[in-house]
Structure 1
Amino acid sequence: MSHIDAHQHYWTLGLGHNDWPPPELSEIHRDFTPEDLRPHLAAAGITKTVLVQAAPNLAETEFLLDVAEREGTVAAVVGWVDVWSPAARSDLERFKRHPKFRGIRPMLQGLEDTFCILQPEAMRTLEMLPGLGLRFDALIQPRHLPVITALADRLPDLPIVIDHGAKPFIAKGIIEPWRADMAALAGRRNVCVKLSGLVTEAGRGWTVDRLRPYVLHLLDVFGPERMMFGSDWPVVHLDANYEKWWIAANELLRDLDESARLAVLGTSAARFYGIDS
């Protein structure tokens, strides 16, 4: 089983549909392409990736599907549709024609209304996903965890994955109520979690020891078969780089047996996103 990076991004600034990252994030304010990522994948022994949207518009999804058509390492694309729009179904059906389109990610972290994903219009869209063979990536903050638990209860057939461990407040050393809310959410069998984005939440002074209690809790409540490694490249450059995070993740998984480690580094993502291994 080859390793899979279950969360990475590409962007080309100046296309008009993506105003992120802003110039003040100088480490990542440039184009990032498959050519830039390939050496890092090779060094880590990763052969496939899940390419995830970084802008909330349809043009972004079209851009990513175009990249995926040309780039063999991209095994799955997670795009965006307006889940509150009546046009969501036709957009989903159009994107679904692309063989690598696997799901959507509404960018809930940036929306003020913590409960907006439970609005009837959004629920109607999310109800369509299982029938279309699609998944839901939850880009959330700790405040959303009870909301996603309610969502998972209402749509038990919807495959949900929590990006970046729901962005716990690692830099501040705060673990509750994230810890309790994550344990409750993990009781829903249709929910998985990504081991990604945590160095960004820990900030410049991050260490493996600082990350460990959060990662061990996720392993404890989800188990390796519902956890998947993601680099969050190139965002990881804000506080580390691909290699440093890959080494740290492997250190955090060191006590797992081989099959459990392989689950986090590949088989869980393959199963969740329907990637042929």
Structure 2
Amino acid sequence: MRILDTHLHLVYQDRFSYPWLANAEPLNRQWTAESYFAEAEKLGIESAIHMEVDVAEPDIAGETAFVTQVHPRVIGAVASGRPEHEGFAEYLDLLVRNPKVRGVRRILHESPNELSQTPLFAENLRRLAPYHLSFDLCLRADQLPIGADLADKAPEVHFVLDHCGVPKVAAMELDPWRQYIRELASRPNVNAKISGIVAYAKPDWTVDDLRPFAEHVIESFGWDRVVWGSDHPVCTLTANLTRWVEATHQILSGASDDEKAKLLHRNAERIYRV
């Protein structure tokens, strides 16, 4: 079963600045496309969409231009963006000149809640729809109602919830996360990404630790609105790419081939238009 990875981070410290990596020492090094695909291809991952890596703001345009030509198997990119800024419309006009850009993300799980609550933020999100660009929601579990509010304010935009909504996997804290997920899934313009949960798990996690989180997201959103992502290299905080792919297959062991195909590549091809 081929896999399209919708959440690959590449780090090229010789080209760009990543201020947040100073506080993430295990990740604070070069992570190249060549090293990723050397492992990924053996696991059935045939292609990937690059997810912006929160580079320093002056490097945003450079990162997008670079990753969309860095490797033939990187077939699209979700670019960084600042919908809270007045100049976002002009930024989009330039961004869409790159045919491999498929969406925009603004890191919100480490930002003040107020950042995304302004009328300007919602107005700028609505600007994505005419360009057929999606918006990846990176929110903590306690912020999921913010995601529902944004989805309501931009109903023509396709949203993708990253990392199952960043639940507290290590603490097995299922509630109120489960209710928030159900409420978000009731918005037809929101999709969800089965990714990231290994990074929020205990270092000695088992598949049974991950299963209730992944299965609840799939049950809530349905097989037509879920995609898969590696979150590499962040997944290496508690595992490696191989182990996360193996865990995914174990979680999906009871699914049909059609359901597996939807999650592992087919939905992503439709949602991200690749």
Structure 1 position 108 matched with structure 2 position 139: no
Residue 8 of structure 1 is matched in structure 2 by 8
Between the aligned partners of 1:74 and 1:65, the Cα distance in structure 2 is: 12
Instruction: Give aligned-pair identity as a percent.
Output: 28
Q: Is the 8 A contact 1:65 1:101 kept in 2?
A: no
Between the aligned partners of 1:43 and 1:16, the Cα distance in structure 2 is: 29
Between the aligned partners of 2:271 and 2:218, the Cα distance in structure 1 is: 17
Q: Is the 8 A contact 1:2 1:46 kept in 2?
A: yes
CA RMSD of aligned residues (A): 1.5
Equivalent position amino acid for 2:22 in 1: P
1:128-183 Cα shifts (integer Å, max 9, x gaps):
00111111001110121111112212221110001001110111111111100101
Between the aligned partners of 1:227 and 1:124, the Cα distance in structure 2 is: 26
**Superposition pairs of residues 10-89 of structure 1, within 5 angstroms:** 10-22=10-22, 25-26=25-26, 28-55=27-54, 57=57, 59-89=59-89
Gaps of 5+ in 2: none
**Superposition pairs of residues 143-154 of structure 1, within 5 angstroms:** 143-154=142-153
Count of residue pairs brought into register by the alignment:
273
Are residues 165 and 58 of structure 1, via their aligned partners in 2, closer, same or farther at CA, if it must alter by over 3 Å? farther
Are residues 68 and 208 of structure 1, via their aligned partners in 2, closer, same or farther at CA, if it must alter by over 3 Å? same
Q: How far apart are residue 20 of structure 1 and its match?
A: 3.0
Q: How far apart are residue 67 of structure 1 and its match?
A: 2.5
Residue 258 of structure 2 is matched in structure 1 by 259
Are residues 24 and 129 of structure 1, via their aligned partners in 2, closer, same or farther at CA, if it must alter by over 3 Å? closer
Between the aligned partners of 2:192 and 2:24, the Cα distance in structure 1 is: 30
Q: Is the 8 A contact 1:48 1:75 kept in 2?
A: yes
Q: Is the 8 A contact 2:193 2:226 kept in 1?
A: yes
Scaled by the length of structure 1, the TM-score of the pair is 0.94
Are residues 167 and 43 of structure 1, via their aligned partners in 2, closer, same or farther at CA, if it must alter by over 3 Å? same
| Secondary structure of the corresponding residue to residue 86 of structure 1 | coil
Equivalent position amino acid for 2:70 in 1: R
Q: Is the 8 A contact 2:2 2:45 kept in 1?
A: yes
Residue 137 of structure 1 is matched in structure 2 by 136
Equivalent position amino acid for 1:88 in 2: F
Scaled by the length of structure 2, the TM-score of the pair is 0.95
Residue 190 of structure 1 is matched in structure 2 by 189
